[in-house]
């Protein structure tokens, strides 16, 4: 009997639908792998397969799903990587989790992440760092590092992550898998423990583009519980075209190779050549305000976080520190419960929102955000997709950037402007540099997921990335 965990999610779902594979057997095979977790990728693993429930008739065929810790899952620890939510058992599940369970993807495990999704390496988790399966001395990226490591290592067939400034795409790039950050609003945020609400978006981390299309197709949709959610104007289709004839790719003028590791830039240029061989054209596009993206993001995201995290006071959820009076209980709980990066962001955000500074920081950052969105709008008059490396580096060593937050923030250089614009983007593996995966990022206009997935599918075939070295 072949190892069923070597199948992609789509292959496994098809095998279950055809009656060639038992969904319970599939679940148990993954459960055993997840339980043996050597990468610290999981914060919770199911203790048994769900009751047989006619999975073969459902669109996701009973293929189990790993879910980032910050999605509320009823009766299952949902801690957002934070000590302040240690042992928190939500009374309900996030809409997207409910949707996927109903579509035939039962909950396999919860995955480790940076605390409240703040980070690019998973080293900000209160539950310890996640190791990169390609090289265990290196980070898997963040903040959805547990989801990425789980999928890359073969301990989960697919996973849910969230992306606020790059947290699906960057870990996907650093672990050699596919990560899709959907259009803001196209997936419900209801039941996601919030970081920065105007940016947070859930999306799939998968072994290939087909699996990303399959999972995203079941995630998207308007949810009355999230007033910012929207119905996708198109049905998500499974990509099949192997050519890119007539597709116009735009490379931002700022991408010159400077500030990008040479091996990463080389894979980027090779991928552009492949795209041209498949019939695409490549031209330069101007995104004059993208260079201010990181600065604007690191005002807007902490500002929203400082407000969202005000609810953690020791009264309603998780940790409560003992103290003699109410105010000291609040402050001691927050002092003990939040990690350093979260505290840094709360302070930054509170400062940026304080009266007298609001216009100078938050107001200005919002105006920059509008300019960046306009830049992309203008670019999409000339090209169909804007392409860049996903991150300027391959996976870095554990501890390499923890002493300098700015160094860490710089890893989000190419993902953050896209998040500010609210548009969708994918990262696909584009080869190796120093035996570590490199990501290729493609962004399109709002609701162009079909276009992005289609192009990614054709390129994936041409690239022929071999993921086996990342498997455990
Ligand atoms: N690394 C970025 C940050 O720390 C993005 C995180 C994310 O997308 N959740 O904010």
pLDDT digits (tens, 9 = 90+) for 75-92: 999 999 999 999 999 999
Please state the atom number of ligand 1 nearest to the C-alpha of residue 119.
4
**Other Cβ atoms closer than 10 A to 197:** 16
Give the Å distance between the CA of 298 and the centre of ligand 1.
Answer: 9
The verdict on the CB of residue 145 being under 6 Å from ligand 1 is: no
Is the Cβ atom of 165 under 6 angstroms away from ligand 1? yes
Q: What is the dihedral of CA 382, 385, 389, 391, to 10 degrees?
A: 110
Annotated catalytic residue within 68, 83, 181, 401: 68
* Contact indicator for 124, 345 with CB cutoff of 8 Å: no
8 Å CB contact between 372 and 421: yes
Which of 167, 188, 229, 419 does the annotation list as catalytic?
A: 167
DSSP 355: T
Q: Looking at ligand 1, which residue's alpha carbon is closest to its atom 5?
A: 165
Question: Closest Cα to residue 142, out of 215, 205, 219?
Answer: 205
Identify the pLDDT of residue 472: 82
pLDDT above 90 covers what percent of the chain?
96
Q: Is the pLDDT of residue 53 over 80?
A: no
Give residue 119 CA to ligand 1 midpoint distance, Å.
Answer: 5
pLDDT greater than 60 at residue 1: no
Q: Which residue in 294, 316, 297, 315 sits closest to 305, CA to CA?
A: 297
Q: Please report, to the nearest 10 degrees, the dihedral formed by the alpha carbons of residues 174, 180, 185, 190 taken in order.
A: -70
Q: Tokens 């609001």 sit at which residue?
A: 358
Active site residue 198: no
Task: Name the residue with the closest Cα to ligand 1, atom 10.
Answer: 118
Show the tokens assigned to 160.
Answer: 């849910």
- Both structure tokens of 457: 């599918």
Strand order in the sheet with 201-206: 42-45, 107-111, 65-68, 158-163, 201-206, 178-181, 425-433, 436-443, 385-389, 248-252, 281-285
> What domains appear along the chain, each with residue ranges and CATH number?
4-244+444-463 (3.90.1300.10), 291-366 (no CATH)
Structure tokens at 408: 């860490």
53 C-alpha vs ligand 1 centroid, how far in Å? 37
Q: Which among 68, 82, 112, 118 is the best mutation to test ligand 1's pocket, defined by most ligand atoms within 8 Å of the CB? A: 118
For residue 340, the tally of other CB atoms under 10 A from its CB is 11
Distances in Å between the Cα of 96 and the Cα atoms of 87, 160, 195 are 22, 9, 17
Q: Is the pLDDT of residue 249 over 90?
A: yes
Pairing of strands 436-443, 385-389: antiparallel
Task: Give 300 Cα–ligand 1 centroid separation in angstroms.
Answer: 12
Ligand 1 midpoint to CA 143 (Å): 6
- What b/e sequence results for 64-103 when a residue is b if at least 16 CB atoms lie within 10 Å of its CB, and e otherwise? bbbbbbbbbbeebebbbbbbbbeebebeebbbbbbbbbeb
Q: Predicted confidence band at 178 (pLDDT cuts at 50, 70, 90)?
A: very high
Query: What residues have CB less than 8 Å from 436, skipping those under 6 apart?
Result: 132, 134, 135, 138, 174, 394, 395
Tell me which residue has tokens 């894979």: 267
Ligand 1 contact, 118 CB (< 6 A): yes
Residue of 119, 111, 125 whose CA lies nearest to 142: 119
CA of 129 to the centre of ligand 1 (A): 16
Separation of 165 CA from ligand 1 center, angstroms? Answer: 5
Max intra-chain CA distance, the chain = 71
Q: Which pLDDT value is given to residue 51?
A: 86
pLDDT (tens digit per residue) in 362-399: 999 999 999 999 999 999 999 999 999 999 999 999 99
Q: What is the pLDDT of residues 414-433, one digit of tens each?
A: 999 999 999 999 999 999 99
CB 60 within 8 A of CB 214: yes
From the centroid of its chain, how far is CA 278? 28
191, 97 contact by CB (below 8 A): yes
Distance 120 CA to ligand 1 centre (A): 6
Q: Would you say residue 173 has pLDDT above 70?
A: yes
Q: If you average pLDDT over every residue of the chain, what do you get?
A: 97
Q: Is 164 in the pocket of ligand 1 (CB under 6 A)?
A: yes
Give residue 164 CA to ligand 1 midpoint distance, Å. 6
Whether 393 lines ligand 1, by a CB cut-off of 6 Å, is no
Three-point CA angle 65, 71, 73, nearest 5°: 75
Whether 215 shows a pLDDT value over 70: the answer reads yes
- Joined together, the tokens standing for residue 299 give 């005002």
**Cα 276 to Cα 157, 282, 430, distances in angstroms:** 32, 7, 15
Tell me the mean pLDDT in the region 441-451. 98
Q: Is 103 helix (H, G, I), strand (E, B) or coil?
A: coil
Our CA dihedral for 16, 19, 22, 26, rounded to 10 degrees, sits at: -30
Q: Ligand 1: which atom is nearest the Cα of residue 168?
A: 8
Q: Is 115 in the pocket of ligand 1 (CB under 6 A)?
A: no
**What pLDDT sits at residue 418?**
98
Among 71, 115, 119, which is best to mutate for testing ligand 1, by the most ligand atoms less than 8 A from CB?
A: 119
Ligand 1 within 6 A of 167 CB? yes
252 within 8 A of 218, measured Cβ to Cβ: no
Nearest atom in ligand 1 to the alpha carbon of residue 117 is: 9
Task: Write down the catalytic residue from 143, 144, 186, 427.
Answer: 143
The first and second tokens of residue 77, run together, are 């620890």
Alpha helices in 181-292 (DSSP H): 209-219, 262-277
Nearest to 283 by CA among 328, 251, 320, 305: 251
Tell me if residue 167 is catalytic.
Answer: yes
Whether the predicted model's global pTM rises above the 0.75 cut: yes
The angle formed by the CA atoms of residues 387, 389 and 391, to the nearest 5 degrees, is: 135
Model pLDDT for residues 323-374, shown as the tens digit of each residue: 999 999 999 999 999 999 999 999 999 999 998 999 999 999 999 999 999 9
Q: Say yes or no: CB of residue 81 within 6 Å of ligand 1.
A: no
Q: Is 365 in the pocket of ligand 1 (CB under 6 A)?
A: no
Half-sphere exposure of 137 (CA within 13 A, CB side): 2
Could you tell me whether strands 178-181 and 248-252 are parallel, antiparallel, or unpaired per DSSP bridges? unpaired
Tokens in use for 189? Answer: 């945020």
By most ligand atoms within 8 Å of CB, the mutation choice from 112, 123, 166, 407 for ligand 1 is 166
For 381, counting Cβ atoms within 10 Å of its Cβ (0-12 exposed, 13-18 middle, 19+ buried), the class is exposed
């Amino acid at each position: 009997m072949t190892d069923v965990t070597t199948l992609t999610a789509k292959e496994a779902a098809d095998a279950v639908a055809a009656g060639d594979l038992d969904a319970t057997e599939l679940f148990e095979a993954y459960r055993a792998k997840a339980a043996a977790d050597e990468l610290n990728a999981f914060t919770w693993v199911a203790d048994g397969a769900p009751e047989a429930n006619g999975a073969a008739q459902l669109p996701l065929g009973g293929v189990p799903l790993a879910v980032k810790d910050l999605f509320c899952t009823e009766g299952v620890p949902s801690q957002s990587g934070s000590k302040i939510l240690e042992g928190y058992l939500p009374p309900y599940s996030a809409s997207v989790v409910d949707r996927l369970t109903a579509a035939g993807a039962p909950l396999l495990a919860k995955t480790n992440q940076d605390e409240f999704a703040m980070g690019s390496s998973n080293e900000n988790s209160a539950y310890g760092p996640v190791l990169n399966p390609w090289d265990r001395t290196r980070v898997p990226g963040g903040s959805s590092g547990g989801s990425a490591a789980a999928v890359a290592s073969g301990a989960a067939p697919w996973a849910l992550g969230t992306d606020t400034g790059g947290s699906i795409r960057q870990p996907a790039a650093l672990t050699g898998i596919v990560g899709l950050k959907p259009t803001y609003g196209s997936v419900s945020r209801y039941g996601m423990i919030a970081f920065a609400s105007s940016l947070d978006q859930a999306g799939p981390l998968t072994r290939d583009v087909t699996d990303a299309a399959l999972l995203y197709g079941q995630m998207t949709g308007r949810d009355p519980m999230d007033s910012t959610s929207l119905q996708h104007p198109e049905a998500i289709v499974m990509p099949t075209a192997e050519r890119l004839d007539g597709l116009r790719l735009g490379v931002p003028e700022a991408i010159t190779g400077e500030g990008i590791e040479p091996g990463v830039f080389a894979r980027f240029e090779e991928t552009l050549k492949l795209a041209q061989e498949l019939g695409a054209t490549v031209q330069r596009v101007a995104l004059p305000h993208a260079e201010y993206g990181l600065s604007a993001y690191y005002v807007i995201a902490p500002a929203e976080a400082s407000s969202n995290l005000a609810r953690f006071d020791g009264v309603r959820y998780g940790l409560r520190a003992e103290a003699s009076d109410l105010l000291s209980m609040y402050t001691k709980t927050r002092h003990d419960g939040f990690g350093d990066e979260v505290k840094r962001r709360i302070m930054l955000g509170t400062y940026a929102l304080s009266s007298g500074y609001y216009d100078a920081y938050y107001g200005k950052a919002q105006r920059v955000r509008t300019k960046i969105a306009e830049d992309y709008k203008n670019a999409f008059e000339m090209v169909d997709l804007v392409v860049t490396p996903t991150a300027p580096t391959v996976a870095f060593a554990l501890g390499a950037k923890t002493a300098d937050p700015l160094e860490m923030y710089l890893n989000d250089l190419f993902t953050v402007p896209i998040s500010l614009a609210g548009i969708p983007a994918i990262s696909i593996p584009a080869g190796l540099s120093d035996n570590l995966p490199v990501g290729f990022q493609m962004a399109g206009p709002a609701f162009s997921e079909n276009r992005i997935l289609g192009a990614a599918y054709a390129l994936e075939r041409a690239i022929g990335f071999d993921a086996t070295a990342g498997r455990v």
